[in-house]
Amino acid sequence: MPKAKIDRKTLLRNALSVFKVKGYSASSMQDLASANGILKGSMYHYVESKEALMIEVLNALKDHYVAKVFAKAYDDDLAPVERLKELARRSEEIFMYEEGGDFFVNIGLETKQSVPVFAEIIKTFFEEWIRTLKHLYSFVTNEKEAMEKAELAVAEIEGSVILMRLLDDPMYLQRTNKKLIEDFNRLALENPENKLKY
Amino acid sequence: MPKAKIDRKTLLRNALSVFKVKGYSASSMQDLASANGILKGSMYHYVESKEALMIEVLNALKDHYVAKVFAKAYDDDLAPVERLKELARRSEEIFMYEEGGDFFVNIGLETKQSVPVFAEIIKTFFEEWIRTLKHLYSFVTNEKEAMEKAELAVAEIEGSVILMRLLDDPMYLQRTNKKLIEDFNRLALENPENKLKY
Amino acid sequence: MPKAKIDRKTLLRNALSVFKVKGYSASSMQDLASANGILKGSMYHYVESKEALMIEVLNALKDHYVAKVFAKAYDDDLAPVERLKELARRSEEIFMYEEGGDFFVNIGLETKQSVPVFAEIIKTFFEEWIRTLKHLYSFVTNEKEAMEKAELAVAEIEGSVILMRLLDDPMYLQRTNKKLIEDFNRLALENPENKLKY
Amino acid sequence: MPKAKIDRKTLLRNALSVFKVKGYSASSMQDLASANGILKGSMYHYVESKEALMIEVLNALKDHYVAKVFAKAYDDDLAPVERLKELARRSEEIFMYEEGGDFFVNIGLETKQSVPVFAEIIKTFFEEWIRTLKHLYSFVTNEKEAMEKAELAVAEIEGSVILMRLLDDPMYLQRTNKKLIEDFNRLALENPENKLKY
DNA sequence: AATGAATGAGAATTCATTCAT
DNA sequence: AATGAATGAATTCTCATTCAT
């Protein structure tokens, strides 16, 4: 009976797959256990509760984005526009090819009233994302507009992801990313003094 | 005490309030019955199942939008830009002051995998919304761009609503609506031949 | 909305059709009402309860058998063997062509423990049936054997009906009826003094 | 207090007791759980559904008859008539002293329309029973008659069990068994060439 | 009579969680 | 660690029955 220990990363990844497909409320501990090849009862050796598990999943995912995706925005080896492209490329990958890549929105909207703890983490994720884009826009415009552009970019991307999901058409996200990069380039050219920042 | 008939409209409105706050899966028939001041079992006089109830709610809400909100776009007594403003004003009202005005997105994302019937109705709502905006943009640009503009506008509005919701700040939606109207006016001026259409 | 009054006979016949197919416990007042083209609540204008309805159905059916089927056994215009044939013919009709013609057995076994009232009526039916056959056998044998033959005949017929039902083959009942008539004829010939009774 | 494992045999035996008394439809999971000293919800550790439980009960009972009762018919250490007596003795025990020994008939008739899966198993039981008796009758008569005798014997026994049940008199079954054995002996004597088979 | 809304109990089933082994 | 039995509350839904209209 001694099944191979499940390492934490795998546990969280498997839990994420379940939560992505079923959402929070409709995912049962049974589902989560099955996804890990163990019995329901055994889940409680790993996590304190379903809620605690979701919190860990959200944090891990947020940290992953910050460390692996958003970090690109601070890579001085690349020109700012290249960094933006890199972000867009990664987010297209995530949102398009992984079922439920718009995980934070899904869970955030579903549980806002019932499990407010999740909202905190999700808020942080979006703030980080905006902060990251703002950093990039700062190369091509002033602080105030950089913030607005960043916020709008996130709104546009999320809105596109949603249309992509609800209307079953990946075009929405692709077009939005393309537009954002063009706009970024335009800004860079319009304000030549910005070039100095490169 | 058999009397006190709950009329269908009230029933649906009350159900909507519950679904808005708790989502689909976490809303119990108990909750829905309580919201109507009746017992759990009595709900089955009105609806065949929870799923059937949600379908009716979604359809009623979609029809309401089409008849009451989107219809403004076809009101020839107003200039196109005024119609857009009217749409924006109404949607701000809905999204901001009613908890969960982004109902279609919430439910759509939560139940996409588990109850695909809902997705059909939600899809129709978004297609109608896009069609409506496209009609307005046709006054100020060509067909192809009108479509793109409409799709982008919906994406931006939805993205903004989500940020508004998740970051607890109504500014996102307000700013997006303002931007959309400015952009519309700019288009109208840039292409003077469009004025004829007014 | 004033539907034509349902006369008692129709009501009972329709109830019987439902009970035959679903048994007692699984037949709902809803089912019984639908079979009569009225609403559940309206059933209570006709009957006091589901149990009372079943009692009435059982009694009506028992009375029908006594008056219309078993009565043949006392028809002095026919030779005893012809009366037996008539009974066999009628029972084949009932058991074979009407779904659940073995109604008394079905209901008797299903509800013996839970609704003992039914058992009383059913008992009477079988006692009447045996009494009837005993009357016929009295023409061809002594009292004691006539009783035993009658009891065995009922057992054989019921057993055959059950096999017919459970093994989906009408042959069982047909063969049993044929055998009973042959046996009766044999008895008549073996004991010539019985002929006097004819 | 998680311990006290109920072994499968006990579970099925207890379920059988409940089903015997109440039938299928009127037996609730609550009843079935109580009979096992556990809570309603805990039943679902052992069985997938009420239907699945009944299927297992029916199969277990059928297998028990085949292995423990019908098997006697193939015991070459006994003369055929002794084997028949043994079968009769065992079936009297089962049908008379256990409430609802005519379980297959009860359930078969009650659920024929509503849960056809049960009918399959019940059919097999009766086919096996007939096959067994036919094997015995083959010692004293030809194939064709052996089959007919076997079928008739099952019909007579079942019919007697039903009368025994509905008229509350064990005499019916006892007399039928006695008659069957006498008839078997008569056949053996009538056809002396059959003696060789002994 | 007939309706149909309401009731309240109870049906089957699911679920997060606990805990002895 | 893992198991798997048990819990008890909750879930969706059904049912016989009542009763104002």
Query: Across the C/D interface, how many CB contacts are shorter than 8 Å?
Result: 129
- The residue whose CA lies nearest the C1' of nucleotide F12 is B29
Which of B125, B128, B131, B162 best probes binding to A when mutated, by most A CB atoms within 10 angstroms?
Answer: B162
B126:A163 CB<8 A = yes
Residue D148 in this model has a pLDDT that exceeds 50: yes
Confidence at residue C63, expressed as pLDDT on a 0 to 100 scale? 93
D73 min Cα distance to partner chain C (Å)? 21
As a whole number, mean pLDDT of residues D156-172 equals: 93
* pLDDT of residue A122 exceeding 90: yes
pLDDT band at A3 (very low <50, low <70, confident <90, very high): very low
Mean pLDDT of chain C: 90
- Whether residue B1 has pLDDT greater than 50: no
| Interface residue D117 vs chain C (CB under 8 A) | no
For residue B109, the chain A residue with the least C-alpha distance is A106
Residue A2 pLDDT greater than 60, yes or no: no
Q: Nearest C-alpha of chain D: how many angstroms from C5?
A: 30
CA atoms lying within 13 Å on the CB side of residue C120: 7
Q: pLDDT, tens digit, for every residue of A65-84?
A: 999 899 999 999 999 999 99
| Chain A positions in Cβ-Cβ contact with residue B112 (cut-off 8 Å) | 165-166
Q: How far apart, in whole angstroms, are the C-alpha atoms of residue C150 and residue D159? A: 13
Spatial separation of the C-alpha atoms in residues A91 and A83, rounded to whole Å: 12
Q: What is the mean pLDDT of residues B6-21?
A: 92
Nearest to A83 by CA among A72, A95, A91: A72
Q: What is the pLDDT of residue A29?
A: 95
- Residue C89: phi, psi to the nearest 5? -60, -45
Q: Answer positive or negative: Cα dihedral of C23, C25, C27, C33.
A: positive
CATH, domain range D58-194: 1.10.357.10
Shortest CA distance to D135 belongs to which of D190, D80, D63? D80
Please indicate whether, in this complex, the C-beta atoms of A108 and B165 are within 8 angstroms of each other.
yes
Task: Specify the pLDDT at position D92.
Answer: 84
- State how far Cα D106 lies from the chain centre: 11
CB crowding B168-179: b at 16 or more within 10 Å, else e: eebebbebbbee
- The pLDDT confidence band at residue A90, using thresholds 50, 70 and 90, is confident
Check whether C54 has a pLDDT greater than 60. Answer: yes
User: Is D112 a residue whose pLDDT tops 60?
Assistant: yes
Between A95 and D98, residue with greater pLDDT = A95
Percentage of residues of chain C with pLDDT beyond 70: 92
Quick one: which residue's CA is nearest to E10's C1'? D28
**pLDDT tens-place string over residues C32-52:** 999 999 999 999 999 999 999
Q: Measuring from the CA of residue A5 to each C1', which nucleotide is nearest?
A: F1
Would you call A106 and B109 a contact, using CB atoms and an 8 Å cutoff?
Answer: yes
Give pLDDT, residue C91.
Answer: 83
- CA nearest C26 in D: which residue? D25
CATH entry, A1-47, from 3.30.750.24, 1.10.150.120, 3.30.70.3420, 1.10.10.60: 1.10.10.60
pLDDT for B6: 85
- C1' of nucleotide E15: residue with nearest CA: A28
- Residue C35 CA and nucleotide E1 C1' are separated, in Å, by 18
Residue nearest to nucleotide E14 (CA to C1'): D41
Sign, Cα dihedral of D78, D79, D80, D81 = negative
CA dihedral D11, D17, D21, D24 (to 10 degrees): 30
d(CA A173, CA D128): 66
Band (D14; pLDDT cuts 50, 70, 90): very high
pLDDT exceeds 70 at position C156: yes
Q: Do A158 and B158 touch (CB under 8 A)?
A: yes
Against chain B, the chains showing at least 3 CB pairs within 8 Å are A
Long-range Cβ contacts of C6-11 (<8 Å, 24+ apart):
C6/C36, C6/C37, C6/C38, C6/C46, C8/C46, C10/C36, C11/C36, C11/C46
Q: Does the pLDDT at position D163 exceed 90?
A: yes
Secondary structure (DSSP) of B6-50: --HHHHHHHHHHHHHHHTTTT--HHHHHHHTTS-GGGHHHH-S-H
H helices present in D8-111, as ranges = 8-22, 29-35, 43-46, 50-64, 80-92, 103-111
Report domain extents, chain A.
1-47, 58-194
Cα distance between residue A35 and residue A53, in whole Å:
14
- With an 8 Å Cβ cutoff, are A155 and B163 in contact? yes
- A23 by DSSP, 3-state: which? coil
Mean pLDDT of D70-76: 95
Residue among B26, B165, B179 minimizing CB distance to A109: B165
Which residue from D minimizes the CA distance to C110?
Answer: D23
Chains A and B touch (3+ CB pairs under 8 A): yes
Q: How far is A10 from chain B (nearest CA, A)?
A: 23
Question: A108–B166: do the CB atoms touch at under 8 Å?
Answer: yes
Strand E, nucleotides covered by protein (CB < 7 Å): 1-21
CA of D56 to C1' of E17 (A): 30
C118 → chain D, closest CA residue: D166
For residue B5, pLDDT over 90 is answered with no
Q: Give the torsion sign (CA, A111, A115, A120, A125).
A: negative
Mean pLDDT of A144-166: 95
Tell me if A129 sits within 8 A of A95, measured CB to CB: no
Contact indicator for A155, B163 with CB cutoff of 8 Å:
yes
Chain C residue with the nearest C-alpha to that of D24? C110
Least CB-CB distance to C25: which of D23, D108, D155? D23
DSSP codes joined into one string, D16-29: HHHHHHHTTTT--H
d(CA B154, CA D73): 80
Interface test with D, best of C158, C165, C180 (most D CBs within 10 A): C158
Let me know if chains C and A touch, i.e. at least 3 Cβ pairs under 8 angstroms: no
pLDDT tens, C70-109? 999 999 999 999 999 999 888 888 787 776 668 999 999 9
- Supply the pLDDT for residue D1: 43
Q: Supply the pLDDT for residue C183.
A: 95
Segment D86-110 shows an average pLDDT of 83
pLDDT category of residue B8 using cuts at 50, 70 and 90: very high
Q: B58-113, pLDDT tens digit by residue?
A: 999 999 999 989 999 999 999 999 999 999 888 888 777 676 668 999 999 999 88
Q: Which nucleotide is nearest to D4 (CA to C1')?
A: F5
pLDDT digits 0-9 by tens, B103-154: 999 999 999 888 999 999 999 999 999 999 999 999 999 999 999 999 999 9
Contacts A–B by Cβ distance under 8 A: 128
Segment 163-192 of chain A within 8 Å of chain B by CB: 163, 165-168, 172, 175-176, 179
Q: What is the pLDDT of residue B92?
A: 84
Put simply, the answer to whether C172 touches D155 (Cβ < 8 Å) is yes
pTM score, whole prediction: 0.89
> Residue A143 — pLDDT band, cuts 50, 70, 90?
very high
